[in-house]
Amino acid sequence: MPELRVGERRWSVAPGSNLLDALNRNGESVPYSCRAGSCHACLVQCLKGLPSDSRPDALSPEQRQQGWRLACQCEVVEDLQVHTFDPLQDGRPAEVSAVDWLSANVLRLRLVPQRPLRYSAGQHLVLWAGHVARPYSLASLPQEDRFLEFHLDCRQPGAFSDAARRLQIGDSIRLGELRGGALHYDLDWHARPLWLMAAGTGLGPLFGILREALQQDHQGAIRVIHLAHDANEHYLAKPLQAMAASRSNLNVEFWTPAELPTTLAQLRLVSRQTQALLCGAPESVDAFARRLYLAGLPRNQSLADVFLPRG
């Protein structure tokens, strides 16, 4: 049976065991979120031996050369020595500069990293509060904001969101891996219609991308759609409405689930050159994408970032 070693601890595991499960069942407490190779919270470094990896494309060649792997996507097939991600050693320090509620369920967290972080609107970052980790999309814009902003959906209890509720200004937090999601703004879209369709806190990264598009003086029509659980959860309504009032090419719409079947059925493309960016829970993103396809939007003109539930 293969032997798994972490630090001075070592134990045997059954061949083909999932690496994440083998670590967590033996007290190593490796965090995870999606178990699909998307969130990168379960990053570990292989010091000796290599596991079988079902998602070799999930990490850069440089990371793989250094031995980093996503534990959820790996099986133990030989003796393996692993270094688990240590936020104090491997993470980048940051300080809480603001923590406040944008609605009854959305907590805004602003962090100032000790050293400037190079990122783009639409990317996401693994945050560590103590030994609890969770990936969150950036809602800030690097050219304009001195802080990193995140919108946390706190409707359901969760280890990280529960820890975030207790954060205070000046508290320390650690930053894990910066990950480039599917969402971004491309200057080649400058004259094309741009649709930003968000559900819940999927609005966060799209808000950053919207600000970038406006900063780049996007000339095509911009349509922002936010689907929320109820009217009180359109948590960025005021800033979005203020933007729309000052830009003739920007239109903002606020939807709720009761309206969704009708409003989706009424969606019509003004141009087949439309570029759509979708973000939120899987069922909402699927509904958006399905309707856009039926309306005639080519699949390669619809980019999506799905917020997967834990587990």
Q: What is the CATH number of the domain that holds 111?
A: 2.40.30.10
Give this prediction's pTM. Answer: 0.87
Query: 70 with 95, same domain?
Result: no
Query: 173 with 118, same domain?
Result: yes
Query: 273 with 231, same domain?
Result: yes
pLDDT at 282: 93
Query: 103 with 197, same domain?
Result: no
The contacts of residue 244 (CB under 8 Å, 6+ apart) are 224, 250, 251, 252
Query: 247 with 140, same domain?
Result: no
pLDDT higher than threshold 80 for residue 308: no
Instruction: Let me know if residue 311 belongs to a domain.
Output: no
pLDDT at 310: 57
- For residues 3-22, give the mean pLDDT: 95
Between CA 192 and CA 273 the distance in angstroms is: 6
Identity of the residue numbered 311: G
pLDDT higher than threshold 70 for residue 168: yes
Tell me the pLDDT tens digit for each residue of 79-116.
Answer: 999 998 888 888 999 999 999 999 999 999 999 999 99
Tell me the pLDDT tens digit for each residue of 198-209.
Answer: 999 999 999 999
Query: 149 with 249, same domain?
Result: no
Instruction: Let me know if residue 132 belongs to a domain.
Output: yes
Query: 175 with 191, same domain?
Result: no
Query: 202 with 231, same domain?
Result: yes
Q: Which of 149-158, 200-209, 212-221 has the lowest mean pLDDT?
A: 149-158
- For residues 261-266, give the mean pLDDT: 94
- For residues 44-50, give the mean pLDDT: 95
Is residue 194 within 8 A of residue 220, CB to CB? The reply is yes
pLDDT-derived band at 197, boundaries 50, 70, 90: very high
Task: Count the domains in the chain.
Answer: 3
Instruction: Let me know if residue 164 belongs to a domain.
Output: yes
Range of the domain at 146: 91-179
pLDDT higher than threshold 80 for residue 309: no
- Mean pLDDT, rounded, of the chain: 93
pLDDT at 27: 87
pLDDT higher than threshold 90 for residue 311: no
Between CA 111 and CA 95 the distance in angstroms is: 5
Query: 263 with 290, same domain?
Result: yes
